[in-house]
Amino acid sequence: MNRVLISADSHVMEPVDLWTRHLPAGLRDRGPRMEVRGGATCLMVEDLVVRNFSTLARAEERAQQSTPGDAAPKTFSMGANDPDARLRDLDTDGVWAEVMYPNLGFFCCFHIRASALQVATARVYNDWVADAFIGASERFAPAALIPILDIDAAVAELRRVAARGFRAALLPDHVDARPYNDPVYEPLWATAADLSMPLTFHAGTGRSQTPAHGPGGAVINYVITVSSPLETVAYLCGSGVLARHPTLKVVMVECGSGWLAWALHAMDDAYREHYRWVLPKLDLLPSEYFRRQGAVTFQHDPIGLANIPFTGDHCLMWGSDYPHPEGTWPRSREVLNRQMQNLSDETVANIVCRNAAALYRFAVPHVAAVA
C-alpha cells in the first residue's frame, strides 16, 4: 500500500508530573497525580483512584508466566512525548499524520467533580500539548480536552484552543448526570459549529472502563466500552443536535465501526415505528444526520468494512491507536492491507486519509513524497 496514511486515533503520554507542576498551587493536591496507596502506585484525581498501575503490572507479570496463545507481547514505543522521536515512530509505521488524544488526562479529566479543577486540568494539558506539538509539525493534530461540568467554561475553552491552533476537541463519550440531549449544551454545539471544530467522543471516557469485575472482565469490559458510543450517536442524532447544527461534525473514537450500520438502522426503525411518540420530529431520518455529520474510528474491523454498503465510506476513519498495545503500530500498513484488500481504491483513500484530512484540515502531501 503506497498511500498517505492519517491515524485518526493516537495517544500521547503526558509527563507524570504535568499537573503537580503546572496546576495553580491551591489545586495541585487534588489534581491528577501519582500516589502510592497501600503499596500500589495509583493515578489519582481528587480522592479517586482512576488507575492502579501496580495491579496492571502484577497482571502483566502473571500473564508472562501463562500460555501466551497468539497474543505474544509486541515491542512498542511508550508513545514518545518528544515530537522528533514521535515523528520517527510515525515514519517507522508509515503513517504521515495523526490526531492525538491524551493518556493520563483521558483517564482523569472527566471524572473530576469540581468544575474549577476540571477547567484548570484541561487547560494545563491543552497548553502543554500545544506547546510541545502544535507548530512542531503539521503532522500532529492533538485534540484539546474540553471541561464539561460548566458549559460557559467549555465554550470559553473551545474558543481558546481554537485560537491556539487546535483542530479537534475531546468531550467525554458519556455524561450520565446530564446527557447530551439536554438543551444546556446548545451553546457548546453552536460554538463548535461556528469554529468548524470537530467534537470527538472517545470510547472509555465519562464512565468506568471496568464496569465488570471477576471472570471474563477483560472481554466484557472491552465489549461494553467500545460499543457504548452507539448510545452517544443516538443522543446526538435522535435529539436533533445534528439537525439544529448542520455544520457541526462529531466523531466517535476507538469504538470500532462494526456496530455503526446496525445503530443507524435501529435509530431509523425506532423513528419510524415509534413515530407517534418521537419528539422532536426531524426533517431527515436520524441516520441521515450521522452520515452527513458524523464519523467513527476503527483499527481493525472487518465487520465495519463489510457494512460499507449500509454506512457509506465517508463516516469511517482508520486509527492506529499508537502507542497502545492493542494498536496496530508498527504494522499498520500490513493490518490495513489485510483488511482492505477487497475495497476500491477510492474507498480505501477515503478511510485511511481523505476523510480525516478534510475533517481535521491536514494538507496532504503528494503521495510520492511519502512513498
Query: Which lies closer to a copy of itself via its Cβ, residue 6 or residue 233?
Result: 233
Query: Which lies closer to a copy of itself via its Cβ, residue 62 or residue 366?
Result: 62
User: What are 172's strand-pairing partners?
Assistant: 202
Positions of E strands within 64-103: 97-101
Name the residue with cell 500539548.
Answer: 129
Query: Which lies closer to a copy of itself via its Cβ, residue 14 or residue 254?
Result: 254
Q: Tell me the closest approach of the beta carbon of residue 208 to a copy of itself, in angstroms.
A: 13
Q: Tell me the closest approach of the beta carbon of residue 306 to a copy of itself, in angstroms.
A: 7
Nine cell digits for residue 45:
484525581
Q: What are the two backbone dihedrals, phi and then psi, of residue 66, each rounded to the nearest 5 degrees? A: -95, 175
Q: Tell me the closest approach of the beta carbon of residue 126 to a copy of itself, in angstroms.
A: 30
The whole-angstrom separation of Cα 173 and Cα 229 is 6
Cβ–Cβ < 8 Å for 103, 79: yes
Query: Which lies closer to a copy of itself via its Cβ, residue 275 or residue 369?
Result: 275
The whole-angstrom separation of Cα 142 and Cα 252 is 16
Q: Tell me the closest approach of the beta carbon of residue 59 to a copy of itself, in angstroms.
A: 5
* 97-101, strands of its sheet edge to edge: 6-11, 97-101, 140-145, 168-172, 199-202, 250-253, 294-298, 316-318
Q: Tell me the closest approach of the beta carbon of residue 217 to a copy of itself, in angstroms.
A: 7
Q: Tell me the closest approach of the beta carbon of residue 158 to a copy of itself, in angstroms.
A: 22
CA distances from 134 to 110, 137, 139 (A): 23, 7, 9
The whole-angstrom separation of Cα 318 and Cα 323 is 15
Q: Tell me the closest approach of the beta carbon of residue 185 to a copy of itself, in angstroms.
A: 11
Name the residue with cell 475533517.
Answer: 359
User: What are 199's strand-pairing partners?
Assistant: 169, 250
CA distances from 252 to 134, 173, 232, 233 (A): 23, 8, 8, 8
Query: Which lies closer to a copy of itself via its Cβ, residue 15 or residue 216?
Result: 216
Q: Tell me the closest approach of the beta carbon of residue 344 to a copy of itself, in angstroms.
A: 18
Q: Half-sphere exposure of residue 137, counting CA atoms within 13 Å on the CB side?
A: 16
Query: Which lies closer to a copy of itself via its Cβ, residue 278 or residue 343?
Result: 278
Query: Which lies closer to a copy of itself via its Cβ, residue 106 or residue 290?
Result: 290
Burial string for 104-140 (b: 16+ CB within 10 Å, else e) reads bbbbbbbbbeeeebbbbbbbbbbbbbbebbbeeeebb
Q: Tell me the closest approach of the beta carbon of residue 297 to a copy of itself, in angstroms.
A: 15
Query: Which lies closer to a copy of itself via its Cβ, residue 276 or residue 366?
Result: 276
Size of the chain, expressed as the number of residues it contains? 371
Query: Which lies closer to a copy of itself via its Cβ, residue 286 or residue 319?
Result: 286
